[in-house]
A and B are shown apart, each in its own frame.
Chain A
Amino acid sequence: MRTIRIGSGAGYSGDRIEPAVELAEKGGIQYLVFECLGERTVALAQQARMKNPDGGYDPLLEERMRAVLPLCAAKGIKIVTNMGAANPLAAARKTAEIAKSLGLSSLRIAAVIGDDVLDACKDGDLPIMEFDGTIKQLGNRLLSANAYLGAGPMAEALEGGADVVITGRASDPALFLAPMIHAFGWAMDDWNLLGQGTVAGHLLECAGQITGGYFADPGFKDIPDLARLGFPIGEVSEDGSLVITKVEGSGGAVTAQTCKEQLLYEVHDPARYIQPDVVADFSQVKVEEIAKDRVRVSGGRGSKRTPTLKVSVGYVDSFIGEGQISYAGPGALARGKLALEIVRERLKLTGVAASELRFELIGVDSLHGAQLSAHANEPYEVRVRVAGRTENLSEAVRIGNEVETLYTNGPAAGGGASKSARDVVAVASVLLPRELAKPSIQFVGG
């Protein structure tokens, strides 16, 4: 039976680069996937594209491509990535330019375009899922609308001979499903195979999170050599059978435990993990260690895809102002609490218009709130944090200022104040009838 090996070279846009090089060099892989596009990133990238029509793709595209293209070209490893962000075509052109400069001008680069569905969403004035309102009601705060495309167009690009496939918004598991569909000719209505392929893609998409990253807990869950964490490889066979492993000799570990944690990561109802190509069912999945750093994952299934695609809508939500300052030594906690009281009163006295405020002590209650931290021991040092939401930047600036002025006006011995104010580009979702997204492929170079 035919088997392919797919490497996962990045779990987010800023991820380490050398584990991907290690995969290309020693992983025995035929496909290298880079998942680099967070929920909000495409909206930020759209803003960048508005400023520069040739921009709007992943800022690390050049560095990643330079690092892996020579090895991938030499070994015939195909690359699939969503580093196109808001401008896959510009990313493909840039990649072709990089390939040429490396003496690899025969590489065929494909851009998958058509995830930008802003016009279709506006025409339909679709309702927003997270809060009451519609696309049109966002008015000029609306920045972008990108549909989560499925694996089809990427598989088609591979079919057309692409060495590198660059997409914008696509479902993360679909980046991995595409090589499987291409290599094995899986039918786009074989729901069980697509469901099991989605299990593979879902397990691989966060790279180091299945090889021991986001996992270690000393004394309970120990993982060796995290500084040299190896990224994962999925060995997938024609019938969907799957083994998760990693490069021999790299850091980290692939165990039943790391696979189980990642299986449920960002999953709601495990029986209905809704993807563009299939509704995957993880509820019957089995996980079995078959050798050191080799785990067999079986039992993924699926049912018919939904008639809609999820669309990520980027919009300017509000502004956030923040200030921090630290206290340490005897009485640090009391001084930190006093500082919070002072800022709370100052924001009222000076009439700062905030719709939401947080007053907290880093080291005490900033992560889990008052109830869960109620019985903690007194820390040696605390860091005051005040954050608030405002309607404009100048109000947001005033919040950080009220923390900073604690230097000369607040409790004794406050140090290391910092402040920031920023606009908040947030993401909401709508469901678009799938026929309204019209993806297409454009080849560059080769």
Chain B
Amino acid sequence: MTKLREIAHSRTGDKGNTSNISVIAYHEKHYPQLLEQVTPERVKAHFKGVVEGEVVRYELPNISALNFVMTGALGGGVTRSLALDAHGKSLSSALLDLEIENDLDL
């Protein structure tokens, strides 16, 4: 096993009570592993207790990237949240801690 951080980078954005997290393969050869292993179900389970709503995944094969859109993720909305990180900017770092099966040529 390895961490997602070894093969992908990531950035979080916010709109209202919705957070989006991009997951971008460093090398396009790892995009199939992202597709297979970083599923919306896994992402939702990873963020249990943080994300209250749905997790939807969009695929961008041209740039070897996935975009996860997570509703109910920002404490009621960036402008009213009680959270220290109201924007959820630090969430991408949590996602990069996801474990990935390591049959990869790193």
Q: Which residues of A contact B (CB under 8 A)?
A: 39-40, 130, 214-215, 217, 220-221, 257, 260-271, 282-287, 299, 317-318, 320, 356-358, 360, 362, 366-372, 385, 387-389, 424-429
Contact = CB atoms under 8 A, between A and B. Distances in A.
Contacts of B5: 220
Interface string B68-106: 010000001111101111000111001001000000000
Nearest to B48: A371
A268 B12 CA distance: 11
A265 B79 contact: no
A369 B75 CA distance: 12
A372 B65 contact: no
A267 B79 contact: no
Given A264-B60, A317-B80, A318-B80, A371 B18 contact: no
Interface of B: 5, 9-11, 13-18, 20, 22, 24, 26, 46-50, 58, 60, 62-63, 65, 67, 69, 76-80, 82-85, 89-91, 94, 97
Contact of A263 (B47, B63, B82): B63
A261 B17 contact: no
Given A130-B16, A265-B22, A266-B13, A39 B60 contact: no
Contacts of A369: 49-50
A268 B91 contact: no
A257 B62 contact: no
A426 B77 contact: yes
Nearest to A287: B63
Contacts of A362: 84
Contacts of A429: 16
A420 B30 CA distance: 47
A424 B20 CA distance: 24
Contacts of A39: 78-79
Given A320-B82, A369-B49, A427-B79, A262 B63 contact: no
Contact of B9 (A217, A265, A269, A270): A217
Given A269-B58, A285-B63, A287-B63, A257 B94 contact: no
Nearest to A284: B62
A287 B63 CA distance: 7
A268 B16 CA distance: 12
Contacts of B60: 264, 270, 282-283, 285
Given A264-B13, A270-B58, A425-B79, A367 B65 contact: no
B80 to A, nearest CB: 4
B49 A371 contact: yes
7 contacts: A221-B9, A269-B69, A299-B62, A366-B85, A367-B84, A424-B79, A427-B79
A264 B82 contact: no
Given A260-B65, A286-B63, A370-B49, A267 B20 contact: yes
A392 B96 CA distance: 40
B63 A388 contact: no
B18 A264 contact: no
B94 A368 contact: yes
Contacts of B97: 372
Given A39-B78, A220-B9, A368 B91 contact: yes
Contacts of B26: 257
B20 A266 contact: yes
A289 to B, nearest CB: 12
A264 B16 contact: no
A333 to B, nearest CB: 18
Contacts of B47: 372
Given A264-B22, A370-B49, A428-B77, 7 more contacts: A263-B63, A264-B13, A270-B67, A358-B83, A368-B94, A372-B49, A426-B80
Nearest to B17: A130
A257 B77 CA distance: 28
Contacts of A282: 60
Which of A264, A270, A282, A387: most chain B CB closer than 10 A? A264
A366 B84 contact: yes
Nearest to B22: A264
